[in-house]
Amino acid sequence: MPNPDIRSSILHTDLYQLTMLQGYLEHGMEETAVFEFFVRTMPPQRGFFMAAGLEQLVEFLEQARFTSEELDWVATSGLFSQSFVDYLERWKFSGDLHAIPEGTIFFANEPIARITAPLPQAQLVETRLINLLQYQTLVASKAARCVLASSEKPLIDFGLRRAHGAEAGLLAARASYLAGFSGSATILAESLFGVPVFGTMAHSFIQAHTVESEAFEHFADAHPDNVVLLIDTYNTEEGARKVVALASRVQEKGISIKGVRLDSGDLVDHAFKVRKILDEGGLNDVQITASGHLDEYAIQALVAAQAPIDFLAIGTKLAASADVPYLDCVYKLQEYAGRPTRKKSEGKATWPGPKQVYRQFGQQGRIDHDVITTVDAPQEGEPLIHKVMEAGKRLGSPIPLTQSREHAATQLIHLPQDLCQLREGATVEVQVSQTLRKLAEAVDAQH
C-alpha cells in the first residue's frame, strides 16, 4: 500500500472492527447504537482529568472514508466478502456526537463523548476515537497539574523528541497549550494549531565552537531579537559570567541578551547563583529558563524554594505523561435499537443507556460533586454534555483553540482546593442517580 495518511485512515484500526462489521451486516444489524467513551478509574496521581482531543475527533468523523488502496487491502485479505467491500466503499459516518467541551474538568466514569449512529458506523470508529481522546486528555490533565503548580510562571512544551511518535509530539503541544502552557518548541504546532512557538539552543551549538563565549556571540549575531543562551554545557556559573561579559560587547551592536537557560544540576541552587551573577553584572532584565526532567512535582519544589526562575520548559515527562502513561479508558455500547445494555465483566461493569453529567458547585464556586444520570431524567446542576455533530456534520463553527484554552483556565479556577494543591488521592465525588441505578437493575434482570 502506498504511504497512507495514518491520521485520517479509517483502516488504521483493529482487525476485529471489520470482522464484527461483517457479522453485523450479514444479520441486518444496522439499527441505532449508542456508545460512550469514559475513563473507568481515577489514578491516585491525578484527581481530575481535563477533556481534550474532541476537535481532532470531529475532523476524523467528518472525513473518514475508505480509500481505493484501503478497499484493495480488504478485498485481497481473504477475510471478507465482495459485498462487504462494496459496503465499505459507501461507508461514511452519518451519526451524532455529544461531548464535554475541550478544556472541561471531568472525573472517573463520566462519559465525555457519546456516539449515536447505525451500529456498524458507531463500532468502526472505536479504535481511533479512543486513540485520539485518550492521548490529548492524558497530556492536558498532566499539563493542567503543571499549570496549577507553576504559580503563574510561563510553561513551554519541549516534549516532541521523546513523545511516542510524530503525532504524539504534535498533539502534546496542542493539549498542553489548551491546558494553559504558553507555547511549545514544536514548529508544526504553530503552523497547524496556532500554538506560540519558542526556542533556544542545544548543547551541540556550544560544543561545535571551540570556545563557549564565541558560541554565545555567534548565536546573538544570528538572532539579535531573541538571544537566549544555554549556559550549563561546561559550568553553569562560569557560563553566566561569560554572558555578562558578552552583554557589554554586543551592546555596541544594539543587541541585548534576553535570557539564559539552565538544564542540569540543582536548578534551585544554580538559579540563585546565576541570578546574582546576572544582577551584579547589570543584567537584571535577563530572564532565566529552567529545563531538564521537570514535571509538576519538580515545579512545586522550585516554586516552594522561591527559585528566581522566569520560564519553565517541560518535556519528556509531559509528552509521555510519565507517571500515568495511559488511562483506563473505554468506549462501550450503552444502547442498541432502543434497548439499554451493559457489560458485567468482573471489575469492568458499566452503567447502561445514554447518560448526562450534572455538576453542582459549592463554596467559592468550586466544584462540589457531579451526578451521572440518564439523558432524560430531571436533575439539578449544570449539564456538561452538549451536541457537537448531527447526521455526520459539525454543528456551528470549530471552536478556536484559544477559546477552549480560556475555558480550561476558567475550569481550573473552579477546582476544589485540595485538587489545586495536587493532594494525592483527592478527587471529586461522582454520584450515580437512582434513575440510572434502577435502569441498570432492569437491564440485569434480562440476563
Question: By CB under 8 A, is residue 447 in contact with its own copies?
Answer: yes
Q: Of 333 and 412, which CB lies nearer to its own copies in the complex structure?
A: 333
- Interface residues for its own copies in 61-80 (CB under 8 A)? 73, 79
- Interface residues for its own copies in 254-293 (CB under 8 A)? 263-265
Question: By CB under 8 A, is residue 235 in contact with its own copies?
Answer: yes
- Interface residues for its own copies in 5-24 (CB under 8 A)? 5-9, 11-20, 22-24
d(CA 323, CA 297): 11
CB 53 within 8 A of CB 137: yes
Name the segment binding its own copies (CB under 8 A); options: 99-107, 322-330, 377-385, 390-398.
322-330
Question: By CB under 8 A, is residue 395 in contact with its own copies?
Answer: no
d(CA 273, CA 270): 5
C-alpha cell read off for 274: 546565576
Among the listed residues 38, 48, 66, 219, the single contact to its own copies using CB under 8 A: 219
Of the candidates 424, 420, 400, the one whose C-alpha atom is nearest the C-alpha of residue 177 is 400
Name the segment binding its own copies (CB under 8 A); options: 146-154, 248-256, 273-281, 311-319.
311-319
Helix (H, G, I), strand (E, B) or coil at 111: coil
d(CA 56, CA 48): 22
Q: Of 291 and 427, which CB lies nearer to its own copies in the complex structure?
A: 291
The pairs formed by 362-366 with CB atoms below 8 angstroms and a separation of 24 or more are: 365/413, 365/414, 366/414, 366/415, 366/416, 366/417
Q: How far is the CB of 389 from its own copies (least distance, A)?
A: 20
Question: By CB under 8 A, is residue 104 in contact with its own copies?
Answer: no
Of the candidates 427, 149, 75, 153, the one whose C-alpha atom is nearest the C-alpha of residue 309 is 153
Cα angle 248, 250, 252; round to 5 = 85
State the DSSP string of 353-412. Answer: S-EEEEEEE-GGG-EEEEEEEETTS---SEE--EEEEETTEESSSPPPHHHHHHHHHHHH
Among the listed residues 131, 256, 431, 435, the single contact to its own copies using CB under 8 A: 131
Question: By CB under 8 A, is residue 188 in contact with its own copies?
Answer: yes
Name the segment binding its own copies (CB under 8 A); options: 96-104, 221-229, 277-285, 297-305.
221-229
Question: By CB under 8 A, is residue 181 in contact with its own copies?
Answer: no
| Window 398-427: contact mask with its own copies (x via CB under 8 A) | ------------------------------
For cell 503543571, name the residue. Answer: 146
Q: Of 7 and 394, which CB lies nearer to its own copies in the complex structure?
A: 7
Q: How far is the CB of 436 from its own copies (least distance, A)?
A: 17
d(CA 431, CA 262): 46
Of the candidates 278, 276, 269, 183, the one whose C-alpha atom is nearest the C-alpha of residue 229 is 278
DSSP summary character for residue 78: S
Question: By CB under 8 A, is residue 86 in contact with its own copies?
Answer: no
Q: How far is the CB of 212 from its own copies (least distance, A)?
A: 8
| Window 25-44: contact mask with its own copies (x via CB under 8 A) | -xx-x---x-x---------
| Window 326-365: contact mask with its own copies (x via CB under 8 A) | xx-x--xx--x--x-xxxxxxxx-----------------
List, in order, residues 6 or more apart from 422 with CB less than 8 Å away: 47, 145, 148, 149, 296, 300
Question: By CB under 8 A, is residue 119 in contact with its own copies?
Answer: yes
Question: By CB under 8 A, is residue 302 in contact with its own copies?
Answer: no
